[in-house]
């Protein structure tokens, strides 16, 4: 007797197969918007910028490949090196005092006898969520050459007004003060969170041994916070070397490298979007990437070396 086997899949098995396929695809569909947006607004601009760095393009016509000409020009560009100088000076003036003050404030707020900790944390953090443009406009009014608050006070005491915005020395300080005002609270919250992870037993044992507040800070707090300090130094380095809005709002027109207000990102903006030299602007951008990478590696090496040295 011949047995006939039915190889046609039943309707139930077909639904089960499609359901299994849907279960496998569904997670990828949910995460796909991120990758689509990243490809369009993240990866593509990076790759296209890399191509433009070796080309000339005005934003409308054809892209003309020029090889290493842009990089050769960059090496001899006086404005590029002066803008780096301005950026580094602003970064040092801003980052060093900001991180030191943030660490001290976090330590003080973390002390047991300090009340209303949430009030202090909220107050110091508020500038971080404020628009950088609004904060810069406020500082521009305070340090204005003609009718600024500081110059008004100086005139009350019979002193000569200071051209803060026109002076290369003072305009760098004003730009740095904007950054300190805005990011001090952010770094303080990070340090405060790190302090919360330090066991109270360490401080109690040190106090029993007669340690002062200064010794608690230098012998316990700072050594245990060094990984967090490394994080804040690197992030502040990356952010500080990309300062733009502060300089652009304070000096919206006629910003020059000699004037102290032309930072490296401001120079990229002028070159690419005002002069329509997108190829050379991309070259400057990759120069900035290299500078940030080098300084970040130096910071990481120095901090890690000190941590390992003290552990040994």
Could you tell me if residue 210 is left (phi over 0), alpha (psi between -120 and 50 degrees) or otherwise beta?
left
Name which of 170-179, 259-268, 301-310 the model is least confident about.
301-310
* Residue ranges in the chain assigned as alpha helix (H): 11-38, 44-52, 69-75, 78-110, 117-125, 132-142, 149-156, 168-196, 200-208, 213-216, 222-224, 226-240, 245-250, 264-269, 278-311
What is the model's pLDDT at position 9? 53
CB 134 within 8 A of CB 127: no
Tokens matching residue 178: 């904007």
User: Looking at the chain, which residues constitute the CATH 1.10.3720.10 domain(s)?
Assistant: 69-311
Question: Tokens in use for 140?
Answer: 């521009």
What is the pTM (predicted TM-score) of this model?
A: 0.81
Greater pLDDT, 207 or 305: 207
pLDDT at position 118 over 80 = yes
For residue 151, give both structure tokens.
């110059």
The fraction of the chain above a pLDDT of 70, given in percent, is 91
- Reported as a single tens digit per residue, the pLDDT across 48-104 is 999 999 999 888 888 899 889 999 999 998 999 999 999 999 999 999 999 999 998
Closest CA to 243 of 88, 105, 82, 127: 88
Whether domain 69-311 has CATH 1.10.3720.10: yes
Q: What is the Cα–Cα distance from 220 to 203, expressed in whole angstroms?
A: 8
pLDDT at residue 175 in the model: 93
Average pLDDT over residues 180-188: 93
Nearest to 264 by CA among 252, 247, 278: 247
Please report which confidence band the pLDDT of residue 308 belongs to, taking 50, 70 and 90 as the band edges: low
Average pLDDT over residues 26-31: 83
> Is residue 115 very low, low, confident or very high in pLDDT (cuts 50, 70, 90)?
confident
- Encode pLDDT of 133-169 as tens digits: 999 999 988 998 877 888 888 888 888 888 888 888 9
- Contact in structure between 95 and 236 (CB atoms under 8 Å): yes
> According to the model, what pLDDT value does residue 279 have?
92
Q: Please provide the DSSP assignment of 252-290 as one string.
A: -SS--TTTT---HHHHHHIIIIIS--HHHHHHHHHHHHH
- Kindly give the pairing relationship between strand 64-65 and strand 55-56: antiparallel
> Three-class SS of residue 64?
strand
pLDDT, average across residues 175-191: 93
Q: How high does pLDDT run on average in the chain? A: 85
**Residue 304's pLDDT is what?**
66
The encoded tokens of residue 155 equal 């005139």
């Amino acid at each position: 007797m011949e047995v006939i086997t039915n190889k046609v899949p039943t309707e139930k098995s077909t639904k089960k197969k499609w359901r299994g396929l849907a279960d496998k695809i569904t997670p990828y569909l949910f995460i796909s918007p991120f990758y689509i947006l990243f490809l369009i607004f993240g990866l593509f601009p990076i790759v296209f910028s890399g191509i433009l760095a070796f080309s000339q393009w005005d934003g409308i016509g054809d892209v003309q490949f020029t090889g290493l000409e842009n990089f050769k020009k960059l090496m001899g560009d006086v404005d590029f090196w002066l803008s780096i100088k301005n950026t580094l000076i602003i970064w040092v003036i801003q980052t060093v005092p900001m991180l030191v003050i943030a660490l001290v404030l976090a330590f003080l707020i973390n002390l047991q006898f300090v009340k209303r900790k949430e009030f202090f944390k909220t107050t110091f953090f508020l500038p971080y969520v404020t628009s950088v443009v609004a904060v810069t406009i406020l500082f521009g009014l305070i340090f204005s050459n003609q009718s600024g608050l500081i110059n008004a006070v100086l005139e009350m005491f019979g002193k000569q007004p200071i051209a803060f915005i026109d002076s290369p020395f003072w305009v760098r300080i004003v730009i740095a003060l904007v950054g300190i005002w805005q990011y001090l609270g952010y770094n303080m919250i990070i340090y405060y969170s790190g302090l919360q992870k330090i066991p109270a037993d360490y401080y109690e044992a040190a106090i029993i041994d007669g340690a002062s507040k200064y010794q608690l800070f230098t012998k316990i707090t700072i050594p245990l916070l060094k990984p967090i300090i490394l994080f804040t130094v690197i992030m502040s380095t990356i952010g500080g070397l990309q300062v733009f809005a502060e300089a652009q709002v304070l000096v919206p027109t006629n910003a020059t490298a000699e004037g102290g207000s032309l930072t490296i990102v401001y120079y990229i903006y002028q070159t690419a979007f005002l002069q329509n030299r997108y190829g050379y602007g991309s070259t400057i951008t990759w120069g900035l990437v290299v500078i940030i990478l080098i300084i970040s590696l130096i910071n990481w090496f120095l901090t890690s070396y000190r941590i390992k040295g003290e552990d040994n």
